[in-house]
């Protein structure tokens, strides 16, 4: 089978390549409807994964690049066909306001930079796509929501698991009553952070925190969408087995619990100092579901009381960007929200978990 990449290579070898490519792109856009034109802000490792995944998108494509590294702008621009006029530095990207080839900016930088960059993108009149956590505190998240609302642009968060097929199947079963009344959720999320001290995850100002913001958010979010309720209270305890590597403000390991209105409870662990922790377990009066792995890039696997989960794996970031395009272009909302309000709910719980860990007391959520 001839792939799109093969076809582009063939066309590129011809003197007619440029006009033919323009015609091909125009025809494909016309056949599949409008396409969300996205600038990637921050060209790090995860951005590489997103960019590669977007090559299979049918409703979103890369039309802009923003980076503090000129060499990356040049190499990525050549690789993804982004002209120099749509490449920006961190200092100059406010100029996207004047670029009609960019509809949205996907913020892929460290957590501590998200809020300020989102405010600039919104002020430029472009839709804000932001990797999670949306911000490092609920107050920052609310600023982002307010700024996007004032600018009349959308704010969407990179909750790829909200669109993952096996995860959605468990949610469907829960809504259908296949598990009965929800009783218990367990979320284990962690890995051993081997990054050097120069890595942004070891920098409090850039990371905003430690394992809770990095991976614990998966357990928080998973408890919410799998139980199907919003928690009323949290308790938490932080431990550090390696305080030399995890200084003040960088949580290494936190055990936390969530209580829900129905009486269901969640018991969760987030850590940067233990490997092989990537599991969700949901228990009800009539059945159960286990996802393992539950938060990795896939394939997400698992089983329920009726057998294995067998939905087809599709690259998460491909599905996510197409879904974001559907929200912005067509107002089509996913089964589980991916908007700024969803991001804010997680941030409020994260704030409460940190407070509970510091105080040693239960913290009620309002």
Which sequence positions are flagged as catalytic? 132, 218
d(CA 299, CA 7): 29
Tokens 């990797």 locate to: 131
User: In terms of Cα–Cα distance, which of 308, 289, 307 is closest to 299?
Assistant: 308
Q: Is the dihedral of CA 220, 221, 227, 233 positive or negative?
A: positive
- 10 phi, psi to nearest 5 deg: -65, -45
| CA dist., res. 153 & res. 149, Å (int) | 6
DSSP assignment of 82-100 equals: --GGGEE-TTTGGGGGG-T
Distance (Å, whole) CA 226 – CA 170: 7
Alpha helices in the chain, H assignment, sequence order: 4-12, 17-32, 45-54, 70-80, 114-123, 138-151, 165-176, 204-207, 211, 217-227, 316-330, 340-359
User: Which residue bears the tokens 């609310």?
Assistant: 142
């Amino acid at each position: 089978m001839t792939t799109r990449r093969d076809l582009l290579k063939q066309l590129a070898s011809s003197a007619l390549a440029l006009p033919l490519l323009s015609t091909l792109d125009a025809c494909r856009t016309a056949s599949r409807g409008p396409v969300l034109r996205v600038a990637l802000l921050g060209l790090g490792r995860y951005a590489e994964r997103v960019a590669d995944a977007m090559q299979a998108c049918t409703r979103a494509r890369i039309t802009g690049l923003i980076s503090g590294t000129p060499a990356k702008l040049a190499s990525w621009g050549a690789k993804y066909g982004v002209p120099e006029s749509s490449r920006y530095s961190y200092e100059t990207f406010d100029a996207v306001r004047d670029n009609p080839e960019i509809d949205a900016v996907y913020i892929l930088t460290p957590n501590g930079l998200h809020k300020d960059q989102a405010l600039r993108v919104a002020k430029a009149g472009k839709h804000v796509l932001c990797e999670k956590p949306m911000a490092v505190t609920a107050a920052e998240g609310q600023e982002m929501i307010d700024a996007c609302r004032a600018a009349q642009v959308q704010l969407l968060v990179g909750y790829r698991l909200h669109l993952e097929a096996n995860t959605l199947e468990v949610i469907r079963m829960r809504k259908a009553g296949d598990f009965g009344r929800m009783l218990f959720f367990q979320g284990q999320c962690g890995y051993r952070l081997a990054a050097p001290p120069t890595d942004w995850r070891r920098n409090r100002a850039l990371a905003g925190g430690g394992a809770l913001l990095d991976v614990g958010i998966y357990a928080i979010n998973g408890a919410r969408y799998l139980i199907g309720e919003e928690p009323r209270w949290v308790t938490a305890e932080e431990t550090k087995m390696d305080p030399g590597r995890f200084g003040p403000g960088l949580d290494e390991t936190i055990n936390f619990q969530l209580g829900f209105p129905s009486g269901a409870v969640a018991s969760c662990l987030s850590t940067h100092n233990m490997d092989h922790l990537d599991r969700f377990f949901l228990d009800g009066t009539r059945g159960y579901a286990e996802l393992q792995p539950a938060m990795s890039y896939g394939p997400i696997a698992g089983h329920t009381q009726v057998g294995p989960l067998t939905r087809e794996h599709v690259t998460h970031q491909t599905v996510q960007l197409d879904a974001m395009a559907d929200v912005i272009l067509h107002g089509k909302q996913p089964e589980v929200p991916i908007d700024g309000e969803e991001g804010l709910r997680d941030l409020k719980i994260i704030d409460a978990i940190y407070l509970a860990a510091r105080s040693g007391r239960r913290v009620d959520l309002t």
